[in-house]
Each structure stands twice: as structure tokens, then as C-alpha cells.
């Protein structure tokens, strides 16, 4: 395989799909060496097949807003790869959603899901519907209209959507209600991230953030460091940021920054329960601003227009959106002494930022390893649904711990360089790739 040749061909076929091309390029560069040691992969054209989704559904979603006006959005579901299990991955509602964004997310999901140790293929879906400023009734009508189109293409053993940016427990509830009405079957396991009274798993809401901190703990332990007393800057204030802030605080770190599109909140005293609870209130308000946090808690200061990376910290945790930490941000963090960065958002760092962290020799780990605890716990939700039982929070948390430890071990196995530096990007990509490639090979040319 020649990365340049494959990339040139992809750019020709999918011009301007920048996020998708970026995600593919990163994986291909990581696996090139290992891939070329396996002529059977080359013969079966594994890479050429793996970089294209199995299929894409695109549909119109029409709904009526509170003023009685008719609105039309675009909806998508991208079933990327089903070599190791049914399609699995979240749904994103955000005004910038387009096929490139969902293809990058579906591609990443395929490798991430392979890392979880559970049998799940990769998928992603979403809409350019913008939840900001929408009423609860509008969100409900949109979710219902979205599911009206989607329901026939998903199922507990076919494709299992979940939440992502702009989609949480409320949206999953509305989508599930409509699914059930249309399918005339309960099919509990058709969506994950459900409410606790109707098939949801304990710890699922916390899982992405908690899992990320378990991963960071392992990464730090391997490097002989501790999270105790470390300062942590987090971007975002949604579900993932909340879970990460909660666990980081519990482990003895000080979360000194959270941020939103409007700016950063500098929080020098760290979090407490009241502040963590208020993050949930902010997210549920649908306003997408973080400034009210500093109005409510006078020990915190709001700095408009600034990113979380402008705050001096030991550990940087991007928890919001792709490419939210660029080369300049990385340079600022490094100049301020940051010694660990872990992507909790999908592809949170640009390639320039990753290169800066790695050449500075600091700890860096990619989203597909760090944030895999979310989808892994979705996998545990599916298992409980299939068995018609529910596990205790302690049981789920213990399984999540084990999974994050396994992912960390896989990264170390495939990513340790001759000089001893652990390239977690390479490790995660190779580990995920080997599993999916082997499955594709054994299943023939399909």
C-alpha cells in the first residue's frame, strides 16, 4: 500500500470532504508499515474496501416549528463497516453536519468499536438540525420526523444508533418512542443511551467521561505520574465534559477550565458537586453558552472569545468537537507546561497539534482509544437488553474499567517505539485495524 496513491484516489472521488480525508490519512499513515507485512491484506484489497462506507442513507426530514412554520433538514445514516458486528455508532445533531463529517465519524467508529473488545461494527448518523434555541416540543417533533425515515434501516442486530453531539437521553427517548410506534415491536436494544426505566444501562451517561479518565490514569501510571493534584483544562460543557470533570475531580485533580462557543470559564478553585450539577443545567438549556457558569459561581471568571487551551494546565482534555485544538493551541499549552493531552472528543486535535505534542515527547492519546468507554458501555447496554436483565452500577463500572485497561494495553502493545515513547495514535490505529482486517479477510470478498 502506498498512502499517497490511496489518498490521491480518495481525494479525486470525494473532493472537499476534508474531515473524512483527514481521518483516513491519519489511520493509513499509522498502519502502512504493518499492512505491508501482510500481502494477504493487499491481495484482498482490504484498505480500498475499508475506507469506503458499506452504504449511506440520505433523507429529508420535514417538521413543523412552534410558530407553525414548516422546516426541512437533511438526515443521514452511514453504515460504515459490519465486519465484526452490527453497525453501531451515534447520531449527531449540529448545524455543520454533512456527509464528510459523518464519514469521518463512521470511519473512526469502526476502529474504536474494534478496540472495545466487544462485537460492534461502525456507523454514524445525524442531521444539520440545529438544537440551539429550540423548545422541547420542537426537539420532540424533529426527533419523531427523523425516526420516521430511519426506523426501517435499524434494528438490534442490524444497526444500533446512540447519542453524540446534540443528542442525549431526551432525544433518544423521543426517537425510541417513535421507533416503537412504527415498528410495532419493543426491540429494546435498537438504540442505546436509553432512560433507566426502559432499558438504559446504569453508568452509560457517565461512561465516555469516566472511561476517558480511566484511560488517562493508565497512561499516567505507565509514565510514572499521578493525576492527584494535577490541573485539568476541559473544553465543552456537555455530557462528555461533565463525565470527565466529575471523574477527574473524584480522582483528586482540579478542573480549572470548561468552555463553550462563547468563551472559557476559568475556575481556579476546581469543581464541586454544585458546579458539576450546574453543567447539566447549562446543557439542558439548549442555549450553547458557558458564560452563566461564572455568573452563578463568583470564584469563576468568564473570558469571552478564548479557548480552554489559553489556561495554564497540566492535562488538556478536548471534550467538544473535531479539530478544536490546533497547532497554535498546542504551542500555547506546551509553552505553559502541559504534559498530557488526551482527546475525549472525536479527532479533537488537528494533525499539526498531534505532531507538536508527539515531537515534544508529552503524553498524547487519540479519541478512538480515550473516548471508547462511551460506545463500550453502549455495547454493555445491548448485552443487558439481549439478556433482559440489568446490571448494577458497580458491575457496569467494573466492566468499563476492564475495557479501558484492555484498550490501553493494546495501544502500548502496538504503539511502543524503539526509543520507548508510546505512540498511542499508532497503537490504537494498528490494534483496531488488525481486528477488522482479519475479520474482513475471513469473510471473503463481499
**CB–CB of 165/238 below 8 Å?**
yes
Q: Which of 200, 374, 415, 432 binds ligand GLU (CB under 6 A)?
A: 374
Q: How far is the CB of 22 from ligand GLU (least distance, A)?
A: 16
By the 10 Å C-beta count (0-12 exposed, 13-18 middle, 19+ buried), 177 is classed as middle
Residue 354: φ, ψ to 5°: -60, -45
d(CA 200, CA 188): 9
Rank residues 256 and 411 by Cβ distance to ligand GLU and give the closer one.
411
Torsion of CA 245, 321, 141, 99, to 10 degrees: -150
Q: Which of 81, 267, 338, 378 binds ligand GLU (CB under 6 A)?
A: 378
Q: How far is the CB of 378 from ligand GLU (least distance, A)?
A: 3
Residues in the chain: 446
d(CA 250, CA 195): 25
Q: How far is the CB of 25 from ligand GLU (least distance, A)?
A: 20
Binding segment for ligand GLU (CB under 6 A), chosen from 66-74, 367-375, 386-394, 414-422, is 367-375
Q: How far is the CB of 154 from ligand GLU (least distance, A)?
A: 12
Decide: is 238 part of the binding site for ligand GLU (CB under 6 A): no
Q: How far is the CB of 165 from ligand GLU (least distance, A)?
A: 8
d(CA 259, CA 253): 18
Q: Which of 17, 138, 159, 164 binds ligand GLU (CB under 6 A)?
A: 164
Q: How far is the CB of 358 from ligand GLU (least distance, A)?
A: 23
Question: 175, 193, 195, 83: which is closest to 129 by C-alpha?
Answer: 175
Q: Which of 144, 192, 249, 338 binds ligand GLU (CB under 6 A)?
A: 192
d(CA 81, CA 55): 9
Residues 6+ apart with CB under 8 A from 77: 56, 57, 123, 124, 125, 150, 153, 154, 159, 161
Size of the site for ligand GLU (CB under 6 A): 12
Q: Which of 85, 89, 99, 122 binds ligand GLU (CB under 6 A)?
A: 89
Secondary structure of residue 78 in the 3-state scheme: strand
Question: 132, 73, 98, 86: which is closest to 17 by C-alpha?
Answer: 98
Residues with catalytic function: 124
d(CA 342, CA 314): 11
Binding segment for ligand GLU (CB under 6 A), chosen from 86-94, 174-182, 211-219, 408-416, is 86-94
Decide: is 346 part of the binding site for ligand GLU (CB under 6 A): yes
**Can you list the positions of beta strands (E) in 369-446?**
none
| Binding-residue pattern over the window 400 to 439 for ligand GLU, x denoting contact by CB under 6 A | ----------------------------------------
Binding segment for ligand GLU (CB under 6 A), chosen from 209-217, 218-226, 272-280, 370-378, is 370-378
Binding segment for ligand GLU (CB under 6 A), chosen from 32-40, 229-237, 273-281, 373-381, is 373-381
**CB–CB of 296/282 below 8 Å?**
no
Q: Which of 53, 75, 90, 126 binds ligand GLU (CB under 6 A)?
A: 90
Residues 109-148 contacting ligand GLU, CB under 6 A: 112
Question: To 10 degrees, what angle do helices 239-250 and 204-222 make?
Answer: 50
Q: Which of 27, 233, 313, 375 binds ligand GLU (CB under 6 A)?
A: 375
Decide: is 162 part of the binding site for ligand GLU (CB under 6 A): yes
**Which residues partner with 372 through β-bridges?**
none
Q: How far is the CB of 430 from ligand GLU (least distance, A)?
A: 19
Decide: is 189 part of the binding site for ligand GLU (CB under 6 A): no
Half-sphere exposure of 374 (CA within 13 A, CB side): 30
Under the rule (CB under 6 A), what is the footprint of ligand GLU? 88-90, 112, 162, 164, 192, 346, 371, 374-375, 378
Amino acid at each position: 500500500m502506498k498512502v499517497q496513491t490511496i489518498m490521491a484516489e480518495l481525494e479525486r472521488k470525494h473532493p472537499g470532504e476534508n474531515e473524512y480525508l483527514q481521518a483516513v490519512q491519519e489511520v493509513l499513515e499509522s498502519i502502512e508499515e504493518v499492512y505491508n507485512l501482510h500481502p494477504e491484506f493487499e491481495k484482498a484489497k482490504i484498505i480500498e474496501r475499508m475506507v469506503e462506507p458499506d452504504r449511506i442513507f440520505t433523507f429529508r426530514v420535514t417538521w413543523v416549528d412552534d410558530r407553525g412554520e414548516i422546516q426541512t433538514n437533511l438526515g443521514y445514516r452511514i453504515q460504515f463497516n459490519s465486519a465484526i458486528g452490527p453497525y453501531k455508532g451515534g447520531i449527531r445533531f449540529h448545524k455543520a453536519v454533512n456527509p464528510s463529517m459523518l464519514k469521518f465519524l463512521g470511519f473512526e467508529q469502526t476502529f474504536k468499536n474494534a478496540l472495545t473488545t466487544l462485537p460492534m461494527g461502525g456507523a454514524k448518523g445525524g442531521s444539520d438540525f440545529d438544537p440551539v434555541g429550540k423548545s422541547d416540543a420542537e426537539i420532540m417533533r424533529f426527533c419523531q420526523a427523523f425516526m420516521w425515515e430511519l426506523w426501517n434501516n435499524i434494528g438490534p442486530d442490524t444497526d444500533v444508533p446512540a447519542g453524540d453531539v446534540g443528542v442525549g437521553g431526551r432525544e433518544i427517548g423521543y426517537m425510541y418512542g417513535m421507533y416503537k410506534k412504527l415498528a410495532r415491536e419493543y426491540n429494546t436494544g435498537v438504540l442505546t443511551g436509553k432512560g433507566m426505566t426502559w432499558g438504559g444501562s446504569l453508568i452509560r451517561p457517565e461512561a465516555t467521561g469516566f472511561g476517558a479518565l480511566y484511560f488517562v490514569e493508565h497512561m499516567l501510571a505507565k509514565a510514572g505520574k499521578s493525576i492527584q493534584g494535577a490541573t485539568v483544562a476541559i473544553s465543552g460543557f456537555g455530557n462528555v465534559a461533565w463525565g470527565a470533570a466529575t471523574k477527574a475531580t473524584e480522582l483528586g485533580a482540579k478542573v480549572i477550565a470548561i468552555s463553550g462557543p462563547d468563551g472559557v470559564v476559568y475556575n481556579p478553585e476546581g469543581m464541586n458537586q454544585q458546579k458539576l450539577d450546574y453543567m447539566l443545567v447549562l446543557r439542558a438549556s439548549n442555549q450553547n453558552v458557558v458564560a452563566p457558569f461564572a455568573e452563578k459561581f463568583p470564584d469563576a471568571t468568564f473570558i469571552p472569545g478564548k479557548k480552554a487551551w489559553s489556561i495554564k494546565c497540566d492535562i488538556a482534555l478536548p471534550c467538544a468537537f473535531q479539530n478544536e485544538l490546533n497547532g497554535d493551541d498546542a504551542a500555547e499549552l506546551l509553552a505553559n507546561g502541559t504534559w498530557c493531552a488526551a482527546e475525549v472528543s472525536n479527532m479533537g486535535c488537528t494533525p499539526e497539534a498531534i505532531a507538536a505534542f508527539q515531537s515534544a515527547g508529552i503524553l498524547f492519546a487519540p479519541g478512538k482509544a480515550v473516548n471508547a468507554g462511551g460506545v463500550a458501555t453502549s455495547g454493555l447496554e445491548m448485552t443487558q437488553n439481549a439478556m433482559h436483565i440489568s446490571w448494577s452500577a458497580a458491575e457496569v463500572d467494573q466492566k468499563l474499567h476492564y475495557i479501558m485497561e484492555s484498550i490501553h494495553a493494546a495501544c502500548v502493545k502496538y504503539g511502543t517505539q524503539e526509543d520507548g515513547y508510546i505512540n498511542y495514535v499508532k497503537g490504537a490505529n494498528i490494534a483496531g485495524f488488525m481486528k477488522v482486517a482479519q475479520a474482513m479477510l475471513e469473510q471473503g470478498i463481499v
